[in-house]
């Protein structure tokens, strides 16, 4: 699913939306009167071009066309999705939404990136309130999948379903918020943590770095893969959540936190936080911090992807719509992907074990093509690799595009023989010969493939 997306407001969030749509094959038009908008958007998109493809084990769609619109109407006209990402001032958003509807198609979805306003507040000034929803993402939009989708009684269920379908098609995980509430779900939770953190700094209990360490070395890691309630369920032991609530519930009445009590954001507290934050960052620029953040998120998300858990499952599900070899390709184009940061070793290049993974993925693409994929394995049969020989020709580095072309050398009876060439641009990076044997997973012994797979093997072109 592709189309045209219009982004109004080219800041950090607007730039992230532009990058997400663009790298998923959509044409994107951005409008922002800031004379530096093109540069800022360009830097965000450059970061996304490097980072987002590393999450996937297959190539992303061909990049869409980016336009920096010189006029508001130019950006919005003809768009399927229009995203408002201007500052959090309700009067400004009302003005922008009115201007959007003056130009946008009646069936276009207009999403607001607002972190706090409710849909009815945004819709109050519009001629077609049913066209406007909250679509609240998280930074960086091009890596983090969550987007809170909030509608009002003015929005039809069909319209909200269509919005979710579009968001899923660009690799995001829409969370339909059940009821309108200021700040939706996630930011209400974050606001509570943020307020308590400000008190800890103000009262001299902890520095900004110590608070960040408490999160990133402890519960932040648990939250990334299991959230809050499931984490606490485990803390209750075999008795589960009921035991946890009985044991720790009374602590909620103790004065452990200040919650809604907000410290005065006076000059002294601003200066204290700013100095500590500057010291914590050291010599790293914002762009360097963004790259460090992206690399860390890539590694975490890829680990979750391998386990099929949390945000990693979103990647796995989305990737299924992006990959697949075709018998019209010859040699078979079995792998197209970017080398991710977690594949490099102390020499700064792709570890030799990852070459083996790439060739294994290439073989899996052939197995999918002949009907011997996951469903075939679940039914009790598979192919096992019994022999592999790899020859390394050139280095590959993080962020580089690689592709594998596969030839079938043998395909009959129990045996499937493959020859792979891995290319880095115009350079041959490695070759691999591979022999696979068909097995019965119950006996763990070789056997002939089932008839439909044997017939598909016979149809494969070969050298």
List 391's β-bridge partners, or say none. Answer: 431
Q: Which helix (H) or strand (E) holds 393?
A: none
pLDDT by residue, tens only, the chain of 463 residues: 899 999 999 999 999 999 999 999 999 999 999 999 999 999 999 999 999 999 999 999 999 999 999 999 999 999 999 999 999 999 999 999 999 999 999 999 999 999 999 999 999 989 999 999 999 999 999 999 999 999 999 999 999 999 999 999 999 999 999 999 999 999 999 999 999 999 999 999 999 999 999 999 999 999 999 999 999 898 889 988 988 888 888 888 888 888 888 899 999 999 999 999 999 999 999 999 999 999 999 999 999 999 999 999 999 999 988 876 665 678 999 999 999 999 999 999 999 999 999 999 999 999 999 999 999 999 999 999 999 999 999 999 999 999 999 999 999 999 999 999 999 999 999 999 999 999 999 999 999 999 999 999 999 988 7
pLDDT of residue 327: 59
Strands laid side by side in the 4-8 sheet: 66-68, 27-31, 4-8, 81-84, 109-112, 132-137, 146-150, 173-176
Distance in angstroms (rounded) separating the CA atoms of residues 399 and 341: 7
pLDDT of residue 328: 64
> SS3 for 167?
helix
pLDDT of residue 251: 81
Distance in angstroms (rounded) separating the CA atoms of residues 284 and 374: 45
pLDDT of residue 3: 98
* Side-chain-side CA neighbours of residue 194 (13 Å): 7
Distance in angstroms (rounded) separating the CA atoms of residues 272 and 276: 6
pLDDT of residue 349: 97
pLDDT of residue 326: 62
């Amino acid at each position: 699913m592709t189309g045209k997306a219009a982004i109004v407001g080219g800041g950090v969030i607007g730039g992230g939306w532009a990058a997400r749509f663009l790298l998923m094959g959509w044409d994107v038009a951005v409008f922002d009167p800031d004379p530096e908008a093109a540069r800022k958007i360009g830097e965000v998109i450059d970061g996304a071009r490097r980072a987002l493809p590393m999450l996937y084990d297959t190539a992303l769609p061909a990049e869409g066309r980016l336009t920096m619109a010189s006029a508001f109407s130019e950006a919005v006209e003809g768009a399927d999705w229009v995203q408002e990402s201007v500052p959090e001032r309700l009067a400004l958003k009302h003005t922008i939404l009115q201007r959007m509807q003056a130009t946008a198609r009646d069936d276009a979805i207009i999403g607001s990136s607002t972190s706090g306003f409710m849909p009815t507040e945004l819709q109050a000034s519009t001629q077609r309130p049913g066209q406007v929803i909250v679509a609240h993402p998280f930074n960086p939009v091009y890596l983090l999948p969550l987007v809170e989708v909030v509608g009002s009684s003015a929005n039809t269920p069909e319209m909200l379903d269509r919005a979710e379908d579009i968001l899923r098609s660009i690799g995001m995980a829409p969370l339909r918020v059940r009821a309108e509430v200021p700040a939706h779900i996630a930011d209400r939770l974050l606001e509570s943590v943020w307020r308590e953190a400000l008190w800890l700094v103000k009262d001299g209990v902890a520095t900004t770095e110590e608070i960040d360490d408490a999160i990133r070395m402890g519960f932040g890691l648990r939250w990334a893969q299991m959230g809050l309630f499931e984490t606490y369920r485990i803390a209750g032991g075999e008795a589960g959540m009921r035991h946890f609530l009985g044991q720790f519930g009374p602590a909620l009445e103790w004065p452990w936190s200040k919650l809604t009590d907000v410290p005065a954001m006076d000059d002294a507290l601003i200066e204290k936080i700013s100095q500590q934050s500057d010291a914590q960052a050291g010599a790293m620029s914002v762009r360097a911090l963004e790259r460090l953040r992206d690399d860390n998120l890539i590694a975490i998300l890829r680990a979750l992807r391998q386990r099929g858990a949390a945000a990693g499952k979103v990647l796995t599900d989305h990737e299924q719509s992006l990959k697949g070899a075709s018998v019209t390709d010859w040699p078979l184009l079995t792998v197209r992907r970017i080398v991710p940061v977690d594949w490099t070793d102390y020499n700064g290049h792709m570890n030799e074990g990852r070459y083996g993974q790439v060739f294994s993925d290439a073989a899996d693409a052939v197995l999918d093509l002949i009907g011997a994929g996951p469903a075939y394995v679940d039914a009790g049969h598979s192919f096992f690799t019994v022999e592999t020989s790899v020859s390394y020709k050139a280095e590959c580095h993080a962020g580089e595009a690689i592709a594998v072309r596969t030839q079938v050398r043998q395909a009959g009876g129990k045996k499937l023989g493959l020859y792979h060439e891995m290319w880095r641009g115009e350079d041959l990076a490695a070759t691999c010969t591979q022999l696979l044997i068909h097995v019965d997973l119950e006996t763990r012994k070789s056997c002939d493939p089932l008839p439909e797979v044997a017939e598909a093997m016979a149809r494969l072109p070969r050298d």
